[in-house]
Amino acid sequence: MLSSIHAGRPFLKMHGLGNDFVVVDARTAPFRPSTDAIRFICDRHVGIGGDQLLVIEPPTVEGAHSRMRIYNVDGTEAPTCLNATRCVVWLLLQEGENGSLVLETLGGLIEGLQPAESQIALRLGAPRWNWEAIPLAAACETLFLDLESGPLAKPTAVNVGNPHLVCFVESRDAVDVPRWAPALQNAPLVPEGANIGVAELVAPDRLRLVVWERPGILTQACGSGACAAVLAARRRGLTSEDRITVEMPGGVLEVEVHDDERLVLTGPVAVAFAGYLPLTLPQTVSVKVAG
Ligand SMILES: N[C@H](CCC[C@H](N)C(=O)O)C(=O)O
CA distances from 69 to 79, 119, 142, 289 (A): 8, 22, 28, 32
Average pLDDT for residues 7-26, to the nearest whole number?
Answer: 96
159 has binding-site annotation:
no
Domains plus CATH for the chain?
Answer: 2-124+270-276 (3.10.310.10), 131-265 (3.10.310.10)
Q: How confident is the model at residue 128 (pLDDT cuts 50, 70, 90)?
A: very high
The amino acid at 291:
G
Choose one of 224, 227, 266 to mutate for the ligand 1 pocket test, by most ligand atoms within 8 angstroms of C-beta. 224
Given its phi and psi angles, is residue 84 left (phi above 0), alpha (psi -120 to 50 degrees) or beta? alpha
Inform me whether the pLDDT recorded for 288 exceeds 70: no
pLDDT, one tens digit per residue, over 163-216 is 999 999 999 999 999 999 999 999 999 999 999 999 999 999 999 999 999 999
Q: What is the pLDDT of residue 82?
A: 98
Answer yes or no: are the C-beta atoms of 180 and 149 closer than 8 Å.
Answer: yes
pLDDT at 123: 98
Angle at the Cα of 65 from the Cα atoms of 62 and 67, rounded to 5 degrees: 90
Catalytic residue at 222? yes
Residue 42 among the catalytic residues = no
- Let me know: does 161 contact 129? Beta carbons within 8 Å: no
Separation CA 33–CA 23 (nearest Å)? 13
Residues 6 or more apart in contact with residue 261 via CB below 8 angstroms: 126, 127, 231, 234
pLDDT exceeds cutoff 50 at 291: no
In the reported structure, the alpha carbon of residue 287 is separated from the centroid of ligand 1 by a whole-number distance in angstroms of 26
Residues with CB under 6 A from ligand 1: 19, 72, 78, 81-83, 162, 195, 213-214, 219, 222-224
**4 appears as a binding residue in the annotation:** no
- The residues pairing with 127 across neighbouring beta strands, listed in sequence order, are none
Residues 39-84 pLDDT 10s: 999 999 999 999 999 999 999 999 999 999 999 999 999 999 999 9
Does the annotation place 19 within a ligand binding site? Answer: yes
DSSP 106-170: TTEEEEEEEEETTEEEEE----B-SGGGTT-SS---SSS-S-EETTEES-EEEESSSEEEEEE-S
Rounded distance between C-alpha atoms, residue 276 and residue 89, angstroms: 21
| Predicted pLDDT at 7 | 74
SS3 251: strand
How many Å lie between the centroid of ligand 1 and the Cα of residue 162?
7
How many whole angstroms separate alpha carbon 200 and alpha carbon 249?
A: 13
